[in-house]
Amino acid sequence: MTTVTAPARPATARVDRGHAVGDAVTMAWRNLLNIKRNPQLLVFATIQPVIFVVMFRYVFGGAIQGSLPPGQTYVNFLMPGIFVQTIVFGALTTGVGLADDLSKGLIDRFRSLPMARSAVLVGRTLADFVRNFFVVILMCVVGFIVGWSIGTNVWGLLGCIGIILAFSYSLSWVFAIVGLSVKDAETAQAVSFPILAPLVFASSAFVPVATMPSWLQGWAKNQPVSVVVNAARALTIGGPTSEYVIKALIWIVGIIAVCAPIAVARYRKAV
């Protein structure tokens, strides 16, 4: 059998935009295949979010329903929060993956290949974006099965999905910094949880902020997870939406603007 290989580009040559895009797509595909080959990552990406939906819907729903405004059901309140909680916890995959590649010397090997240096980071964040897309679609299906309904229209649903995916992409850059700043995947996971916990659980994802202690409400109301959850709720339940969506977009753009350059700098230093 004859093996056909593409002509190699010199490692020192300037990589044009077309090659850079192709390299990033190749790295993204490599990361997606790794999820398929690693059952633990597959469970974390698919089965665990389903468990969260069922647990919060049927275990905590009855207790929290009384704190909601009249006429609002807990499942409709819950699902946007579950979406965001899922992509926030899934975002640590970016850091864990980069830390694992770094500890195994793979990033040094990638650097020696005739490929764009940007491909490693862009490919990783792109792969996680694709993974989050399928996870969010799965969550929509599960949500409809447990009684979730859209109070607006299909454009509101698409807007909700879009803003959640954009937020997931911004978080990938946050945890890219974590992954490039520690020595191995286990450390990346351990460091990530103290960041994730206050963002997810001290937010409006699962309960109304008004039920929290007064000293906590300022943080819970204005931190990025709550802002994105509130935007997603407004887009699916109805009511005023522009203020929530604008605040969410400001957070998303701000996170990328701050964290992407830091991640790139850490990557250059790491390799």
Residues 162-177 have pLDDT tens digits of 999 999 999 999 999 9
Stretch 120-146: mean pLDDT: 88
Q: Side chain identity at 190, as an amino acid letter?
A: A
HSE-CB at 167 with a 13 A cutoff on CA atoms is 34
The reported pLDDT for the residue numbered 41 is 65
- pLDDT digits 0-9 by tens, 90-110: 888 888 888 887 877 777 677
Q: Side chain identity at 85, as an amino acid letter?
A: Q
Residue position matching structure tokens 């969506």:
245
The reported pLDDT for the residue numbered 229 is 95
In whole angstroms, give the CA distance from residue 150 to residue 154: 8
Evaluated on CA atoms 114, 116, 117, 123, the torsion sign reads: negative
The reported pLDDT for the residue numbered 11 is 43
In whole angstroms, give the CA distance from residue 73 to residue 71: 7
Stretch 221-232: mean pLDDT: 95
In whole angstroms, give the CA distance from residue 19 to residue 22: 5
The 3-class secondary structure across 66-111, one letter per residue, is: HHCCCCCCHHHHHHHHHHHHHHHHHCHHHHHHHHHHHHCCHHHHHH
The reported pLDDT for the residue numbered 5 is 41
The reported pLDDT for the residue numbered 39 is 63
- pLDDT digits 0-9 by tens, 252-262: 999 999 999 99
- Express as a percent the part of the chain with pLDDT over 90: 32
The reported pLDDT for the residue numbered 38 is 66
- pLDDT digits 0-9 by tens, 41-85: 666 667 877 888 888 888 877 778 777 877 788 899 999 999 998
In whole angstroms, give the CA distance from residue 202 to residue 85: 11
Q: Please determine, for residue 248, whether its predicted confidence score (pLDDT) is greater than 70.
A: yes
